Chains A and B, each alone.
Chain A
Amino acid sequence: GENVEQHPSTLSVQEGDSAVIKCTYSDSASNYFPWYKQELGKRPQLIIDIRSNVGEKKDQRIAVTLNKTAKHFSLHITETQPEDSAVYFCAARETYGGATNKLIFGTGTLLAVQP
C-alpha cells in the first residue's frame, strides 16, 4: 500500500519569510495529492491539491510542486503571516487494490510563524 513521509515535523519562520514542507510517497500510481491545514481542535481544511498530470499549481501565496519521477511533492507558502500557523498535512490517494479514493496522510508539520 501507499506510504507517505513528511518533513519537517516542526518549522518555525519569521513573518514574511517563506516556508516549505516536503512529502514523499511510495506508490508510483498515485495521482492525487492534497494538502490540508488544521488549526488546534478544528477540522482539516483543504488548502490546495494537485493531480499527477501537472507539475505545479499556485493559489495566491500557496503553491504545490510535484515531481513524479522522484515521487515527492512540496508545499510552498510565501510571505508567511501569523495566521498561517497551524499543522499542515500532505496526503496521497492510494490506488493499490483498484477502485479506491482512500487518502494516506503524512505525519504533519507544525508551522509556527513568529511575528
Chain B
Amino acid sequence: GAVVSQHPSRVICKSGTSVKIECRSLDFQATTMFWYRQFPKQSLMLMATSNEGSKATYEQGVEKDKFLINHASLTLSTLTVTSAHPEDSSFYICSASLLLASERDTQYFGPGTRLTVL
C-alpha cells in the first residue's frame, strides 16, 4: 500500500518550453502532496506544499509563477516548470501524505522525474 507514481520519469526539453510532471497516489487518498527538488549528492529541498482544492504554499525563494502547481483531486498533483532553462535541470520528486489522521505526517515518495533542459 501507499504507492506514489510520477510521470514522466525522464524528460529532455529545449530551453523556453514548459514541462508538466504528474504525481499520483495510486492506492490511497492524499491529504497533502509535496514537491521537492534534489541536486546530485544533495538533500531534498522542499519547493512547495499542495493541498487539494487550494493554492499551493511555496517555500522561500521558489518562484510560484515559474513552478506552477495544481492539485485537482485527492490523488493527483501536477508541477509545471514554465519556460524551462538549463538551470532548472534537476531531479524533481513528489511525495504524498495519507488522509488518515493517525498517519497524516508520513510521506511516501514518487520515483522522481529527471529533467534535462538543453
Contacts and interface: CB of A to CB of B under 8 A. Distances in A.
Interface residues of B, number: 21
B109 interface: yes
Interface of A: 32, 34, 36, 41-46, 49, 89, 93, 100-108
B43 A44 contact: no
A36 B114 CA distance: 20
Contacts of A43: 4, 93, 109-112
B44 A89 contact: yes
A6 to B, nearest CB: 8
B44 to A, nearest CB: 5
Contact of B43 (A34, A41, A102, A107): A107
10 closest A-B pairs by beta carbon, nearest first, are A101-B105, A43-B109, A32-B105, A43-B111, A44-B109, A105-B44, A107-B43, A105-B43, A93-B105, A108-B43
A66 B46 CA distance: 24
B49 to A, nearest CB: 6
Nearest to B107: A103
B18 interface: no
A46 B106 contact: yes
8 contacts: A34-B107, A43-B93, A43-B109, A43-B110, A44-B93, A101-B105, A102-B49, A103-B107
Interface string B89-108: 00001000100000011111
Contacts of B32: 101
A49 B106 contact: yes
A68 to B, nearest CB: 17
Contacts of B105: 32, 93, 101, 103
B34 interface: yes
